[in-house]
Amino acid sequence: MAMPAAAAMASAVENPWHNAQRQFDEAARLLGLDRSLRGVLREVKRQLIVNFPVKMDDGSTRMFEGYRVQHNVARGPAKGGIRYHPGVTLDEVKALAMWMTWKCAIAGLPFGGAKGGVVVDPKQLSVGELERLTRRYATEISLVIGPESDIPAPDVNTTPAVMAWIMDTVSMEQGFSVPAVVTGKPLAIGGSQGRNAATGRGVMFVALAACRRLGRSPQESTVAVQGFGNAGSFAARLMAEQGFTICAVSDTTGAIYAEHGLDIPAVIAHKQQTGSVAGFDGSESISSEQVLEAPVDILIPAALENQVTASNAGRIKASLLLEAANGPVTPDADAILEKRGVTVVPDVVANAGGVTVSYFEWVQDLQSFFWDEDEINRQLEKIMNRAVDDTWQMAQEHGVSLRNGAYFVAIDRVAEATIARGIYP
């Protein structure tokens, strides 16, 4: 979505990698983690930068820069998405890789964290150009990806079709099909039931769990969703089905508000027809800033990082914030929200549904045995509820925020694996 003016100013100085390290450092200090182990876990294991040519439709050749970063693999192969965005930086990808490590650990998945990205606006490319870019990028990072080493998945501006091109490229180079090299693929080539809705469904499960913990009723809770892409739109639709009232949503082209609630299936249909949520009948056009500051009970940032900052945290009216995006709340904003009594369920818990169903897809591909969607959703609900319970219990035991509670769980599990494996040689 269009970045709020305040967030845009803050993001110019907010470095996501420094923020990720700050979050880790605070949790590691409170946890009393060994200093040497802190030094290992606060850095990435491997970072690959690739510059590659792509033949454009007009016959010219254009150079692109891409990244693949692995933060930690103590618990298993690296896992993490690939995003296509003109604002992608190496530090952003490093931060996202670290967050993936903690996310997988909290969910109890046998993965470490990774992330990838290409500096590109895919909306400016034709389908042919996008495919050629994807295949060349996949070839460049094939040095580090594979079913047993590093498994990419969709992220911002990447789709099942992009994953299909990566899977096919790796398969052509290997000489046989390698479906488990990526997740988030189309069903026809080894994708999983329930994957498209997984992140949003996970947010819905977390919202229900948080309401139970806080003694709230979904039927009496209003919601604003910043970002109406895959995660945000599915979260909004599924939460509406559970009785939540979705009052405000936004995407990259506009933002809308309705005091008594929006008809989310109709908003989704409107966006599919027009390409925007703007102009939806019965809604009021508002600014992007007003979505974040809407008078609702629950705020769900589902766009990019650094959206809630020190400059706007004091104006957040929601008392419960669920991070459907990665890193949408900066450390300085976290401190302000905590002081104001706002409950923040961190990204490493709230949006873990995507990687959880990616894990299910990877397992199904390796076994060539596929589950039905009901089984996928049952297993997802079980894992999401367990992650919330573990986080909440740890936070209460130590008298810390939910973010630090989640980090305590994750760091302890990754540290245990790191110690058990030892340092080679």
DSSP character string of 182-230: -SS--GGGT--TT-TTHHHHHHHHHHHHHHHHHT--GGG-EEEEE--SH
Report the pLDDT value the prediction gives residue 1, as an integer from 0 to 100: 37
Question: 281 and 141 share a domain?
Answer: no
CATH label of the domain that carries residue 280: 3.40.50.720
pLDDT band at 13 (very low <50, low <70, confident <90, very high): low
CATH of the domain at 72: 3.40.50.10860
- Number of domains composing the chain: 2
Tell me how far apart the alpha carbons of residues 392 and 252 are, in angstroms, rounded to a whole number. 33
- CA 396/CA 214 separation, integer angstroms: 13
User: Helices 90-107 and 353-367, interaxial angle, to 10°?
Assistant: 70
* Average confidence (pLDDT) over 347-369: 97
Same domain, 182 and 296: no
Same domain assignment for residues 86 and 169: yes
Rounded mean pLDDT of the chain?
Answer: 95
Contacts of 9 (CB under 8 A, 6+ apart): 311
Tokens describing residue 183: 């997740």
pLDDT in tens, 176-206: 999 999 999 999 999 999 999 999 999 999 9
Final residue belonging to a domain, choices 350, 379, 401: 350
Q: pLDDT band at residue 276, thresholds of 50, 70 and 90?
A: very high
For residues 163-167, average pLDDT: 98
- First-to-last alpha carbon distance for the chain, in angstroms, is 47
Please give the share of the chain, as a percent, with pLDDT higher than 90: 93
Residue 6 lies in a domain: no
Of 117, 16, 133, the closest CA to residue 69 belongs to 117
Residue 5 has pLDDT above 70, yes or no: no
Is residue 233 domain-shared with residue 323, that is, in the same domain? yes
CA nearest to 158, candidates 183, 136, 181, 177 = 183
pLDDT of residue 105: 98
Average of pLDDT values for 327-352? 96
**Whether 170 and 295 share a structural domain:** no
The answer to whether position 373 is within a domain reads no
Residues 155 and 210 grouped into a single domain = no
pLDDT tens for 237-271 read 999 999 999 999 999 889 999 999 999 999 999 99
Co-location of 342 and 267 in the same domain: yes
- Residue 43: domain span: 36-189
Q: Looking at the structure, tell me whether residues 137 and 111 fall in a common domain.
A: yes
Q: Tell me, yes or no, whether 141 and 166 share the same domain.
A: yes
Instruction: Give me the active site residues, please.
Output: 115
Write down the pLDDT at residue 14: 83
Tell me what pLDDT residue 31 has: 94
pLDDT tens, residue by residue, 64-83? 999 999 999 999 999 999 99
